């Protein structure tokens, strides 16, 4: 991955109007504090956080729309920084006019504007809508227009606020594919913020987790997903199983043995010392219920307490050690084919898939 | 008293246009920037300012007339300017009546764009005069509604201009004060003639502004 295009250092931002404009007033005095955050050329960084974590504030600060109280944002690029808001603003006038708007704002001659706008429209499949009025579009179309409006400037940095929010699953898929091809073709560095892990995963190379205005963790997507830094991060990135226990020893292979309850133990690839109180974190997809012969990581048998079929996946909760372990299987395949409440199933978790978090 | 000639009627109509036109131009020139500022920016005391403007939109014109009269009276604080019973005094009173209407309605028009408008336009890289042009373009409907409301308030007003203008023949008589006077004198044909003129002017100006407002809309 090449150089840093945008960096935030020792950042402290108090969103303007935080007291008067935010509903409920619960966030009065909200402050965003980021020690260091870098955006690299050609990467997609997803900032993941619950509502009120300061995601939009961070994005606006990166875009130069919020003045930091302290610290700075340095852009190592001469290209424009474009931003797409959660609720894009389309002005009265045609779609083509809206897309060309930033070029008009930059004082570009009409002929050049038209060519650039045409290309941006084509990139997001909007040619047929070019002469439509902006206000007549659907939410998904509006999002596409806003993205075309951002790409038309040939930005070096693209900031996206909840780019897939309010779109149905299919629209999300289509948009993420188009976005990915546009990002790949232009090499733009992208920072997007979202509250939804799935939406973050559609594009992200790297994930930063924002909690209460602070950066809780940042890293490559697989690292953050598999090794969250805290229980809060773990819940946010979908590590749904967090079992309290303590490290009671090491087995012959060097894995830490964690006692969850009585005889219920599991093994984890972890260097934590014996006696440490931990949360054993296991992602649902790592709880394996299609246990074949020769499987060495069988934890035991559990009772299927509840199941949920959404047509594609079967989510099952398996009662074990006083907890309900969440797992997923593909519907209509293997065990997922016939899994039902009350079944007793053996299940396995590899020690490499158990992540210990200090309590 | 002699019959008013055609020349007298047209002189009254012309004065009405000059006085009300000046007042409208001044009220819009002062009121639109204030309305845009009030609607588009966040600052301390904004809520109070909005309350004052909204209350002032309902000010009784006679009270405005009284206050302007007190200010301009020979012994008043601005008495030395000698403006009482001049067209200038009438313009001042009409501006005082129309200004809150322009500020209040244009503020609402800009406010309706939402708090993110300015940020989004900035994020698109549009600044300065072009951003202002976008703002005017997008709020045209509301801004022209403000101008139309101000025009209506100014043209139909009689109490304040009567008090500070005095309805002096050949000097400060305008259509509304003329109508009032002729009606009180029982000279209804003259009153009706002036009324017809006033209505004609009102429809013409309001119609032009409306055409401007609705142009290019679907």
Q: What is the pLDDT of residues A71-129, one digit of tens each?
A: 999 999 989 999 999 888 889 889 999 999 999 999 999 999 999 999 999 999 999 99
User: Is B125 domain-assigned?
Assistant: yes
Instruction: Using DSSP bridges, classify how beta strands A4-13 and A32-40 pair: parallel, antiparallel or unpaired.
Output: antiparallel
Q: Which domain holds residue B146?
A: 6-174
A210 and A299 inside one domain? no
My answer on whether A88 and A207 are in the same domain is yes
Mutate to test the interface with B, among A14, A63, A65, A153 (most CBs of B within 10 A): A65
- Closest listed residue to residue A246, CA positions, set A231, A223, A268, A229: A268
Is residue B147 a part of any domain in this protein? yes
Q: Which of A231, A257, A288 is the last residue of a domain?
A: A231
Burial code (b: 16+ CB inside 10 Å, e: under 16) for A130-140 equals: bebebeebeeb
| One domain, residues A49 and A164 | yes
Residues A144 and A11 in one domain: yes
- pLDDT for position B216: 63
Residue of A nearest to B127 (CA): A105
Backbone angles phi, psi at A209, to 5 degrees: -105, 125
Q: What is the pLDDT of residue A26?
A: 46
Q: Do B126 and A104 touch (CB under 8 A)?
A: yes
Confirm if A180 and A124 have CB atoms less than 8 A apart.
no
The parent domain of residue A346 ranges over 239-358
CB within 8 Å: B120 and A89:
yes
Residues 49-68 of A with CB under 8 A from B: 60, 63, 65
B214 lies in some domain: no
Mean pLDDT value of segment B63-78: 93
Tell whether B130 lies on the interface with A, counting CB pairs under 8 A. Answer: yes
Domain end call among A198, A231, A264: A231
Shared-domain flag, residues A125 and A207: yes
Q: Which two tokens stand for residue A32?
A: 């965003």
| Whether residues A216 and A332 fall in one domain | no
Residue B145 covered by a domain = yes
Report CA A67 to chain centroid distance, whole Å: 26
Name which of B124, B126, B131 to mutate to probe chain A: the one with the most chain A Cβ atoms within 10 A of its Cβ. B124
Q: Å from B123 to nearest chain A CA? A: 6
Q: pLDDT at position A262, please?
A: 79
Searching chain B, which residue's CA lies closest to the CA of residue A92? B138
Categorise residue B82: left if φ over 0, alpha if ψ from -120 to 50, beta otherwise: left
Contact check, Cβ <8 Å, B123/A63: yes
- In CATH, what number is assigned to the domain containing residue A141? 3.40.50.300
Q: Give the relative orientation of helices B6-40 and B140-156 as an angle to the nearest 10 degrees.
A: 140
Look at chain B and report how many structural domains it folds into. Answer: 1
Q: Is the ipTM reported for this complex over the cut 0.95?
A: no
pLDDT tens string B179-215: 999 999 999 999 999 999 999 999 999 899 989 888 8
Residues A216 and A245 in one domain: no
**Residues in B touching A82 (Cβ below 8 Å):** 123-125
**Is residue B208 in a domain?**
no
Please tell me which residue of chain A has the smallest CA distance to B42: A17
Overall residue count recorded for chain B in this entry: 218
Q: What is the pLDDT of residues B119-148, one digit of tens each?
A: 899 999 999 999 999 999 999 999 999 999
CB-based contact A43:A203 (threshold 8 Å): no
Q: Which residue of A has its CA nearest to B131?
A: A105
Give start and end residues of each alpha helix (H) in chain B.
6-40, 46-56, 61-72, 87-111, 117-123, 128-138, 140-156, 159-165, 175-184, 188-214
pLDDT band at A330 (very low <50, low <70, confident <90, very high): confident
Tokens 């764009």 belong to B113
- Same domain for A254 and A150, yes or no, is no
Using the Cβ of B41 and the Cβ atoms of chain A, whether some distance falls under 8 Å is answered with no
Residue of higher predicted confidence among B173 and A312: B173
CB–CB contact B125 A80 (8 Å)? yes
A226 and A243 share one domain:
no
pLDDT in tens, A122-167: 999 999 999 998 888 988 899 999 999 999 999 999 999 999 988 8
* A85 contacts: CB under 8 Å, gap ≥ 6: A146, A161, B116, B119, B120, B123
Q: Determine the Cα–Cα distance for residues B47 and B51; give it in Å rounded to an integer.
A: 6
For chain A, the domain total comes to: 2
CATH label of the domain that carries residue B51? 1.10.3720.10
Question: Which residues of B fall within a CB distance of 8 Å from A102?
Answer: 124-126
Q: Could you tell me if A182 and A86 lie in one domain?
A: yes
pLDDT of residue A18: 52
Q: What is the mean pLDDT of residues B47-64?
A: 91
Cβ-Cβ contacts under 8 Å, A65 against chain B: 119, 122-123
Judge if A163 and A298 occupy the same domain: no
Contact map slice: B 133-152 vs A, CB within 8 A: 134, 137-138
């Amino acid at each position: 991955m090449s150089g840093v295009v945008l960096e935030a250092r020792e950042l402290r931002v108090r969103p303007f109007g935080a007291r008067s404009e935010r509903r409920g007033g619960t966030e009065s005095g909200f402050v965003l504090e980021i020690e260091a955050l870098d955006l690299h050329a050609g990467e997609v960084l997803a900032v993941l956080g619950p509502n009120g974590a300061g995601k939009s504030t961070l994005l606006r600060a990166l875009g130069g729309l919020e003045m930091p109280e302290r610290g700075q944002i340095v852009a190592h690029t001469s290209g424009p920084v474009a931003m797409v808001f959660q609720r894009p603003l389309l002005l009265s006038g045609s779609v083509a006019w809206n897309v060309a708007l930033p070029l008009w704002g930059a004082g570009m001659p009409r002929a050049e504007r038209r060519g650039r706008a045409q290309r941006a429209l084509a990139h997001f499949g909007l040619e047929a809508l070019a002469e439509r009025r902006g206000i007549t579009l659907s939410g998904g179309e509006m999002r596409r227009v806003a993205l075309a409006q951002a790409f038309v400037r040939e930005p070096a940095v693209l900031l996206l606020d909840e780019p897939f929010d309010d779109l149905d699953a299919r629209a999300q898929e289509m948009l993420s594919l188009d976005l990915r091809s546009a990002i790949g073709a232009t090499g733009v560095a992208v920072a997007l913020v979202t509250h939804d892990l799935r939406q973050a995963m559609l594009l992200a190379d790297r994930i930063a987790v924002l909690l209460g205005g602070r950066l809780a963790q940042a890293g490559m997507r697989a690292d953050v997903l598999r090794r969250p830094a805290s229980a809060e991060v773990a819940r946010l990135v979908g590590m749904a199983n967090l079992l309290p226990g303590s490290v009671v020893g090491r087995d012959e292979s060097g894995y830490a043995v964690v006692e969850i309850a009585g005889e219920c133990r599991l093994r984890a690839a972890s260097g934590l010392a014996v006696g440490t109180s931990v949360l054993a974190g296991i992602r649902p997809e790592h709880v394996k219920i299609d246990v074949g012969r020769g499987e060495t990581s069988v934890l035991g048998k559990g009772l299927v307490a509840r199941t949920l079929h959404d047509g594609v996946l079967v989510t099952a909760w398996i009662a074990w050690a006083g907890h309900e372990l969440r797992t997923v299987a593909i519907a209509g395949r293997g065990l997922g084919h016939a899994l039902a409440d009350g079944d007793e199933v053996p299940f396995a978790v590899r020690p490499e898939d158990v992540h210990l978090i200090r309590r | 008293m002699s019959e008013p000639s055609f020349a007298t009627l047209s002189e009254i109509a012309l004065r009405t246009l000059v006085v009300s036109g000046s007042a409208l131009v001044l009220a819009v020139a002062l009121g639109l920037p204030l309305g845009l500022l009030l609607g588009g920016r966040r600052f301390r005391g904004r809520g109070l300012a909005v309350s004052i403007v909204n209350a002032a939109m309902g000010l009784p014109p006679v009270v405005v007339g009284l206050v302007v009269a007190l200010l301009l009276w020979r012994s008043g604080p601005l008495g030395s300017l000698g403006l009482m019973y001049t067209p200038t005094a009438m313009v001042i009173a009409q501006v005082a009546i129309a200004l809150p209407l322009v500020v209040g309605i244009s503020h609402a028009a800009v406010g309706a764009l939402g708090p993110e408008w300015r940020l989004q336009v900035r994020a698109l890289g549009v600044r300065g005069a072009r951003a202002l042009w976008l703002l005017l373009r997008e709020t045209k409907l509301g801004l022209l509604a403000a101008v139309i409301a101000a025009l209506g308030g100014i043209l139909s007003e009689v109490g304040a201009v009567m008090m500070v203008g005095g309805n002096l023949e050949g000097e400060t008589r305008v259509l509304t004060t003329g109508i009032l006077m002729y009606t009180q004198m029982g000279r209804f044909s003259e009153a009706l003639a002036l009324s017809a003129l006033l209505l004609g002017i009102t429809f013409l100006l309001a119609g032009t502004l409306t055409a401007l407002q609705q142009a290019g809309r679907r």
